[in-house]
Every structure is written in C-alpha cells, then in structure tokens.
Amino acid sequence: MHADAFCGPRTSGPAVVTVGTFDGVHRGHQEILRTLDDLSGETMVRTVVTFDPHPQSVIRRDGRGVPLLTETREKIRLLCLYGVDRLLVLHFDRELAALSAEDFLQEILLKRLQAAALVIGYNHNFGRNREGSPEFLEQNRERFGYLLSVVGPHYVDGEPVSSTRIRRALETGDVARAHHFLGRPYALSGTVVAGNGRGRALQFPTANLKVCHPDKLVPPLGIYAVEAAVGEEVWPGMMSIGTRPTFGGGEVILEVHLIGFSGDIYGRTVEVRFLKKLRDEERYAGVEELVEQITRDQEASLEAYREYQAGRTGEPTTE
C-alpha cells in the first residue's frame, strides 16, 4: 500500500515530521505525536511517515510476517484521531530498504515533505542498514537547518512501552496488560462468515469471524470479555477463540456473541475489542454443563464491560 493523504486542517507549508512503523500506535507513539503537535505551532503541517508492509516482514530472512498490532488502515485511522494533518505511507520493499539514510532524509523528509522540524523516537532507525539514527539526525541538523526533537522512552508502571512488549502480552492472552500499554483495548476486525449454527442451538448465537488481515495478531485460545462494534452500534460481548473441544475439536474458530443483539450481520465487519481473558478453553462432559459455563461467562463479560465503560477516560473514540 502507498498513500499520501491529508486528514487535518493544515495542508500546505513547512512541516514537522516524524517517521516510524507505529505498530499499535501505543502510549510511547502517542508521546511522539504529542511532541509533534507541540512543535507544530500554529502553522506547520503535522506529518507522519510510516510503512506498509511492516519493514521486518520484508527484511526477515525467514520470510514470515510480523504479527501486527494494527494493520495499515487501522493505523491510519488512529493516527488521524491523534491530530495528524498528513500521512505518508510508503510501500516498503527491498528498493526502499536499500535507500541510504541521507537520501531518505534529503529526498523524502526535506524536499518532498518540506520538513522544518523532525521528531524521532529514541530507538527508531531508518535507511539502509538502519543508519538513520537519532545521532545521525543530530549530526546533520546544522548542515540542513532543521529543528530536532528526540523523544525518550515512555514508561508505564516502570516499564518502557514497546510494540514487542505488547505482542508478548497478547501472545500469552494478557489482554489487560496490552490495554495498559496501548491506552485502549486491543482490537481486531473480521468479516462475519457462515458457521454451523451450534451457538444458536445453545441459545447463544455467535458470529464466526474471518480476520481481515492475514498478519493480524490473534490472541491465544480462550474465552474473552469484549466490546464489539458493528458499524455505529457497540455491544458487550464474549469471544471464543478455540476448537470446540466439547464437540470433538477441530480447526481454530473465532466466534463472538453480542449480548442483547438480535439480527443478521452476515457479511458485515465486526471490530472486537478485548477487555479481559475470562478463562482457558475447556472440554465439558455435555451440553448442559457447557451452557451453564457460558451463562457464567456472559455475566463475567457484562461485569467486565461495565467496569470498562465506568473507567473509560483518555481513550480515542474509535467507533
């Protein structure tokens, strides 16, 4: 994907620019965006340069994609919510990876974007062999005449926030910890596809989801309390990621029950926001025992949803 779009009021003139992968748009990234806004004054165009696909998916020798916290369209939406005026999404390939840091600085940041000021995260590097470090930008600051701000680590409960830490939390099912680092619940979107109707037969109809992006990180097997958005409507819900062991097991299926919802959403996109892991997937002796547990899961999900709504402050409106 390549995109160059304006999503804020300032569309021309000198810019204050930051560059990075911004996977997750987490609290550390949000600190960079606040610095971008602070330096912009009343006139400079607040500009973010980011990449698609994730650079490590291209550079890694094993050819595997990086599990994404935010796919590109989701990332664009979040960055615009945080007050960015212009977004340049560069298609990352071997040719871009081979571009020297000086050429990237001169041709893209200074000439194309008219950067008068640069904001960079303390651990971000760009250009061939990652030579575009904060030290590189400082060494060239007087030569090219730009202002420079290097943003240090952002700490939550004594730990520096990073996309890697958030991935590790999610890969163990700790969605509450991921929420803490992101500043909002971790979310994934999926298209509702046909299921076998088993949930409806149990009086808990579910929407089976096909995740929209193949590299999107999916939390491990388990039952989760969630918030689910379908268009403009938002519902409390409970999410199962599992193999249905009570019914013999099989492939991993993602299905969400929207508590209180009644209607047909086949073919529509549902955004699921993870609030709490309730339990691991389990095999039950029979349907009656399973339904009793699902009933308890529903109550726990509603409680988690009420707690989330009561404590929701400082998060962007993503609906």
Q: What is the 3-state secondary structure (H, E, C) of the chain?
A: CCEEEECCCCCCCCEEEEECCCCCCCHHHHHHHHHHHHHHCCCCEEEEEEEECCHHHHHCCCCCCCCECCCHHHHHHHHHHCCCCEEEEEECCHHHHCCCHHHHHHHHHHHHCCEEEEEEECCCCECHHHCECHHHHHHCHHHHCCEEEEECCCEECCEECCHHHHHHHHHCCCHHHHHHHHCCCEEEEEEEECCCCHHHHCCCCCEEEEECCCCECCCCCEEEEEEEEECCEEEEEEEEEECCHHHCCCCCEEEEEECCCCCCCCCCEEEEEEEEEEECCCCCCCHHHHHHHHHHHHHHHHHHHHHHHHCCCCCCCCC
- Per the DSSP assignment, residues forming a β-bridge with 121 are 151
- pLDDT-derived band of residue 288, with 50, 70 and 90 as boundaries? confident
Do residues 218 and 152 both lie within one domain?
no
Shared domain for 303 and 197, answered yes or no, is: yes
Residue 199's pLDDT band (boundaries 50, 70, 90)? low
Say if residue 175's pLDDT is above 80: yes
For residue 19, give its domain range. 3-159
Single out the residue in 142, 159, 176 at which a domain terminates.
159
- pLDDT band at residue 61 using 50, 70 and 90 as cut-offs: confident
Average pLDDT, the chain: 93
Q: Are residues 236 and 273 in the same domain?
A: yes
Q: pLDDT value at position 248?
A: 74
Per-residue confidence at 263, pLDDT binned at 50, 70, 90?
confident
Pair 16, 117 in one domain: yes
Last residue of a domain, one of 102, 124, 159: 159
Domain presence at residue 164: no
Are 153 and 224 in the same domain?
no
Provide the CA 41 distance to its chain's centre, in angstroms: 28
Looking at the structure, tell me whether residues 21 and 118 fall in a common domain: yes
316 inside domain: no
Do 196 and 296 lie in a common domain? yes
The mean pLDDT value for 62-87 works out to 92
Residue 279 · residue 260 · CB < 8 Å: no
pLDDT class of 89 with cuts at 50, 70, 90: very high
On whether both 123 and 242 belong to a single domain, the answer is: no
Identify whether 165 is part of a domain. no
The residue-averaged pLDDT of 40-50 equals: 96
Give yes or no for residue 246 having a pLDDT over 90.
no
For 289, residues 6+ apart whose C-beta sits below 8 A from its C-beta are none
Q: Give CA angle at 51 (45, 54), nearest 5°.
A: 150
Question: Taking the CB of residue 184, how many other CB atoms lie within 10 A of it?
Answer: 19
Q: Which carries the bigger pLDDT value, residue 311 or residue 55?
A: 55
Does residue 146 belong to any structural domain of this protein?
yes
Say yes or no: 138 and 36 in one domain: yes
CATH number at 235 reads 2.40.30.30
Residue 180 lies in a domain: no
pLDDT above 90 coverage of the chain, percent: 80
Domain count, the chain: 2
For residue 49, count other CB atoms closer than 10 A to its CB.
22
pTM: 0.92
Same domain? For 141 and 15 the reply is: yes
On whether residue 36 sits in a domain, the answer given is yes
Q: Domain containing 92 — which CATH number?
A: 3.40.50.620
**Is the same domain home to 107 and 224?**
no
Encode pLDDT of 93-148 as tens digits: 999 999 999 999 999 999 999 999 999 999 999 999 999 999 999 999 999 999 99
| Residue 46 · residue 36 · CB < 8 Å | yes
Is the sign of the CA dihedral 256, 257, 261, 265 positive or negative? positive
Per the omega criterion (within 30 degrees of 0), is the bond before 245 cis?
no
Average pLDDT over residues 190-204: 79
Look at residue 317 and tell me if it is in a domain: no
- The verdict on residue 262 lying in a domain is yes
> What pLDDT, on the 0 to 100 scale, is given for residue 284?
86
Question: Which is higher by pLDDT, 316 or 25?
Answer: 25
Comparing 106-110, 200-204, 218-222, 282-286, the range with the smallest average pLDDT is 200-204
Is there a single domain that holds both residue 136 and residue 204? Answer: no
pLDDT exceeds 70 at position 51: yes
pLDDT at position 200 is 67
